[in-house]
Amino acid sequence: MAILDQGPPHYKKMLPPIVEENYGKWKYHEIPRPGVLKHVGESGAALYSVRVGTPRLVSIDFIRDVCVIADEYCDGYLRWTTRNNIEFLVSDEAKLNPLLEKLEAEGLSVGGTGRSVSNIVHTQGWVHCHTPATDASGVVKAVMDDLYEYFNTMKLPAKLKMGLACCLNMCGAAHCSDIAIVGVHRTPPRINHEVIRKGTEIPSLVASCPTGAIRPDPKNKSVIVNEDKCMYCGNCYTMSPAMEIYDPKNDGIAILIGGKTSNARTSPSFSRMVIPFLPNTAPRWPETTEAIRKIVELWIANANDGERVGEWVERIGWERFFTMAELPFSDMLIDDYIFSRETFRTSAQFKY
C-alpha cells in the first residue's frame, strides 16, 4: 500500500507517555485554578492541562515560541483545541507553577475552564472564505477583549460557550452555542450571466440552493433566482463566482442565544435568534460587543447557580427575556415562525 503524506499522522503517535499509559483509565478531573485542569488516572497518575487563549490567526514565530515553552516545561507536549486554545500538557507537577509564571511573563492568557467564557470557536471570516457576511477573528477579538474578565476567572453562573459563524452555512457550529454570533447577508445574489455562460455547471448551481430558489434559464444559457425564496445563504456563490452576494451596506451580524450541546440537567438545544441585525463596524464592532455584554450581564444577575444561558431563558420565558434585555420582539424571532404572525408562537407557555 502506498504511504501518502496527506492528512495528519495518527493521533496515537503523538500522545504523551502518561496519556498512553493511562489510556481509557482516567478517573476524574478537577480545576485547581482557572485555566488549569488536573486529570487523575486510576493509577493515581496526574496530568495537568494548562489552557491558553489565542486569537487563532497566529504567526509562525508565535507557534515556534510556544513550542519552545512546551519543550522546556512539558517535554514538548501541547495541543491546539477546536476553540483555538493551546493546552500545555504537564506531567511533572514541579513544572506547573514555573510554567504558569513563564506564561504570565510572556503575556499569554490562561483561562477558559469551568464557569468561565471559553475562547470563541469561529470560522474563517474575511481572511480566508469567499462568502462571509462579517469577519470572524476581528469580531472575536473585540468580543473577547470586552469579556476578558470572565475568561481568566470562574465567576459566571455556569460555563459560557460562544461561537461565531460568518455566514448562515455556519461551518463554525455556532447553532448550539450559549451565545452565537452569525454573519447575515440581507440581499440576494447578483447574477453575472457572462460568468455563468463561460464556465458554471448549471445543474450543480441549481442543486446548490437549499430552498430551490434557482432555476435554469435555457434561453439565456444562465439561471434565474426567485428572490422570494432566497434566504441569502450564499451557498450558490460557493458553487459559482457568478453569484456574488456580499454587500457592504446590508451585510452584518445576528445574535442567537440559548443553545448547548451538553445534556446535563436539560436536553441539548439550538440557539434562537434574539437580535436580527447589527452593522459591521470594523475594527472593534462596538454594537456587537455591547449587545453581548448586556446579555451576559443580565444572565449573571438573574440566573440560578449552574444555569446555562438557555436554561435561564427557558425558565423565565423568552418573552420575559426580551423585555428584560430591552430587545424588540418580532414575529421572526421565535422558532415556529410560520404561525407566529398571529400568535408569536403556538406554545401554551406564551406569557405576554
Binding site for ligand SF4 (CB under 6 A): 123-124, 129, 131-132, 165-167, 169-172, 188-189, 208-209, 211, 213-214, 225, 230-236, 245
**At its nearest, how many Å lie between ligand SF4 and the CB of residue 139?**
11
**At its nearest, how many Å lie between ligand SF4 and the CB of residue 245?**
6
C-alpha cell at 333: 424571532
Closest to ligand SF4 by CB, 225 vs 303, is 225
Closest to ligand SF4 by CB, 109 vs 131, is 131
The residue at minimum Cβ distance from ligand SF4 is 129
Contacts of 128 by beta carbon, 8 Å cutoff, 6+ apart: none
Closest to ligand SF4 by CB, 154 vs 206, is 206
**At its nearest, how many Å lie between ligand SF4 and the CB of residue 130?**
7
**At its nearest, how many Å lie between ligand SF4 and the CB of residue 123?**
4
**At its nearest, how many Å lie between ligand SF4 and the CB of residue 330?**
21
Q: Residue 340 in contact with residue 273, Cβ under 8 Å?
A: no
Query: What is the spatial order of strands in the sheet that 85-90 belongs to?
Result: 26-33, 36-41, 46-53, 85-90, 78-80
C-alpha cell at 146: 470586552
Closest to ligand SF4 by CB, 49 vs 235, is 235
Question: Phi and psi of 187, rounded to 5°?
Answer: -135, 150
The HSE-up count of residue 278 (CA atoms within 13 Å, CB side) is: 26
Closest to ligand SF4 by CB, 77 vs 246, is 246
State how far the alpha carbon of 315 is from the alpha carbons of 302, 304, 308, 345, 349, in Å: 11, 10, 11, 17, 11
**At its nearest, how many Å lie between ligand SF4 and the CB of residue 38?**
35
